[in-house]
């Protein structure tokens, strides 16, 4: 057979014929990995047929990282791989994210961060499991998932993307910083990458609203505060649309709600005013006044599907107090009243610095052609958006300015959006699609159109712009239509 005919025959072979069948993947012998099962799952519930691989990795003697790889049939595979992120301290496979990736044609993978459940006791006496959670599990999953893709389809994926928000955003930035060759493109939403200081901020805000351990700011007061914030700061961006464009420019003072006489539901007591002010200001060293971490933004207090309740008001003790008990001091009897802001923070960052992903030097990721798309909501009540902006600005400075950063890394801030989604502002957008166009076609995202829906019906669209640009109204047409806005300098 001539070389030309041989080439034609090879091209004619279906993709699946060049790879290994799904059920045969269980026979693979990968160092430090045990494949528990590999089986075809029939199309159902909007999902196409796919091969589900369940495996467990032991990169260290004390590791036990469970991960799954979902491989669509060759005919419906888009030729790309997507790793998906987790939330909080979750020790569970992110099946919802896997389903979304699969429906879009991706081969996809998720892991349990190396432990089961959300209980932070998993790290007590297990320092390697803590490192698995902090950064290693994502990398281990990624390497092995790429191998499974290669074996099953007979070739590597054309592109590899990582997509995550919150803890998944932390994982995303960790990948860009620690393992720049793992992914061609990364979506990092509301990244909790400054994890140690954020945990100190949870403690600070809880103590501000629970002086002496008792709640001073009832949740019923939150809508009052948010309404007052919007009334004062709605037009700081030049448009009256019910949204606070940039909370950093909002001059609202909670003292404006101070009760003149007896306290009631329409005003704040002196103690409540002080509590709100401290949450806005963020963590400060009581001795030096140095700011340790950004406060939560004005406008994030309460907006229906997100509020200060979950992480600040409602917990019976400071949120993530087990960080101090089981990760830092190894004392199950640790008392939040003993906190020493300066010394304890310095000790935490020295001892547990690997839990953060705050390296500003992304040059290795940029050099290999990687693209980073970050986003956050300006009304996020969980991950302080000001800290996300600060990190991006510091990356820009470290990389030599915007002209060096914008070609590979862009941040999109969404006014009125909560944590990862939700809120009164437009909060649904196709970050993965924008990233794919950037990586595959070289078209950097000049904007992303976001939508807001009420009871399933879209009632507002608005462009999200590469920071520091903002969406500016052109002066005519509906303020609820993205076409009537343009991205411009603030």
Residues recognised as catalytic: 166, 380, 419
Q: 142: closest CA among 180, 110, 166, 165?
A: 110
Torsions phi, psi for 292 (to 5 deg): -95, -35
What distance in Å separates the CA atoms of residue 474 and residue 239, rounded to the nearest whole number?
A: 11
Which residues, 6 or more positions from 198, have their beta carbon under 8 angstroms from its beta carbon?
192, 293, 383, 384, 387
* Length of the chain counted residue by residue: 490
- β-bridge mates for residue 51, sequence order: 40, 71
Q: DSSP letters along 237-275, please?
A: GS--SS--S-GGG----GGGGB-SSS--TTSB-HHHHHH
**Cα dihedral 257→260→266→269 (10° resolution):** 70
E strand segments, 25-106 = 33-41, 50-57, 65-72, 80-84
3-state helix/strand/coil string of 153-214: HCCCCCEEEEEEECHHHHHHHHHHHHCCCCCCEEEEECCCCCHHHHHHHHHHHHHHHCHHHC
Cβ–Cβ contacts within 10 Å for residue 29, how many? 7
What distance in Å separates the CA atoms of residue 132 and residue 276, rounded to the nearest whole number?
A: 37
Site of tokens 């399933």: 456
Tokens of 78: 């888009």
Cβ–Cβ contacts within 10 Å for residue 211, how many? 14
What distance in Å separates the CA atoms of residue 83 and residue 364, rounded to the nearest whole number?
A: 20
Tokens of 238: 């030049």
Rg (CA), the chain: 24
Site of tokens 């909790």: 192
Q: What does each C-alpha distance from 202 to 123, 197, 433 come to in angstroms?
A: 20, 9, 34
Reduced to 3 states (helix: H, G, I; strand: E, B; else coil), residue 443 is coil
CA atoms in the 13 A half-sphere facing the CB of 139: 16
């Amino acid at each position: 057979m001539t070389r030309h005919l041989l080439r034609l025959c090879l091209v004619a072979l279906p993709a699946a014929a060049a790879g290994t069948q799904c059920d045969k993947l269980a026979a693979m012998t990968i160092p430090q990995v045990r494949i528990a099962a590999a089986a075809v799952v029939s199309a159902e519930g909007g999902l196409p047929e796919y091969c589900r691989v369940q495996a467990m990795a032991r990169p260290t003697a004390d590791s036990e990282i469970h991960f799954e790889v979902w491989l669509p049939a060759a005919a419906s595979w888009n030729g790309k791989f997507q790793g998906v992120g987790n939330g909080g301290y979750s020790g569970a496979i992110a099946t919802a994210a896997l389903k979304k990736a699969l429906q879009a044609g991706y081969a996809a993978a998720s892991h349990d961060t190396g432990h089961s459940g959300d209980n932070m006791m998993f790290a007590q006496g297990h320092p390697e499991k803590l490192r698995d959670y902090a950064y290693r599990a994502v990398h281990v999953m990624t390497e092995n998932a790429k191998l499974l893709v290669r074996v099953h389809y007979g070739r590597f994926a054309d592109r590899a993307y990582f997509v995550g928000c919150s803890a998944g955003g932390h994982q995303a930035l960790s990948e860009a910083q620690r393992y720049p060759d793992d992914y061609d493109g990364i979506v990092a939403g509301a990244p909790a990458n400054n994890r140690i200081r954020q945990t100190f901020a949870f403690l600070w805000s809880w103590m501000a609203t629970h002086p002496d351990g008792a709640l001073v700011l009832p949740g019923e007061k939150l809508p009052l505060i948010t309404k007052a914030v919007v009334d004062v700061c709605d037009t700081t961006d030049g448009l009256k649309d019910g949204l606070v464009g940039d909370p950093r420019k909002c001059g609202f003072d909670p003292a404006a709600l101070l009760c003149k006489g007896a306290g009631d539901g329409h005003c704040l007591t002196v103690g409540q005013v002080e509590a709100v002010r401290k949450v806005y200001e963020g963590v400060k060293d009581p001795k030096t006044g140095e700011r340790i971490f950004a406060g939560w933004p004005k406008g994030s207090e309460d907006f229906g599907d997100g509020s200060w309740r979950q992480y600040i008001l409602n917990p019976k003790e400071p949120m993530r107090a087990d960080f101090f008990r089981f990760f830092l001091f190894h004392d199950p009897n640790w008392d939040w009243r003993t906190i020493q802001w300066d010394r304890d923070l310095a000790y935490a960052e020295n001892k547990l610095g690997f839990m953060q992903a705050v390296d500003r030097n992304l040059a290795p990721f940029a050099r290999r052609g990687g693209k980073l798309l970050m986003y956050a909501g300006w009304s996020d009540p969980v991950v302080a958006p000001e800290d996300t902006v600060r990190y991006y600005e510091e990356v820009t400075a470290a990389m030599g300015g915007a002209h060096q950063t914008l070609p590979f890394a862009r941040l999109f801030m969404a006014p009125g959006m909560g944590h990862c989604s939700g809120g009164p502002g437009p909060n649904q957008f196709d970050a993965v699609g924008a990233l794919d166009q950037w990586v595959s076609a070289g078209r950097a995202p000049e904007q992303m159109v976001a939508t807001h829906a009420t009871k399933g019906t879209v009632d507002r669209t608005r462009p999200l712009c590469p920071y520091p640009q903002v969406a500016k109204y052109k002066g005519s047409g509906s303020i609820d239509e993205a076409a009537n806005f343009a991205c411009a300098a603030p």
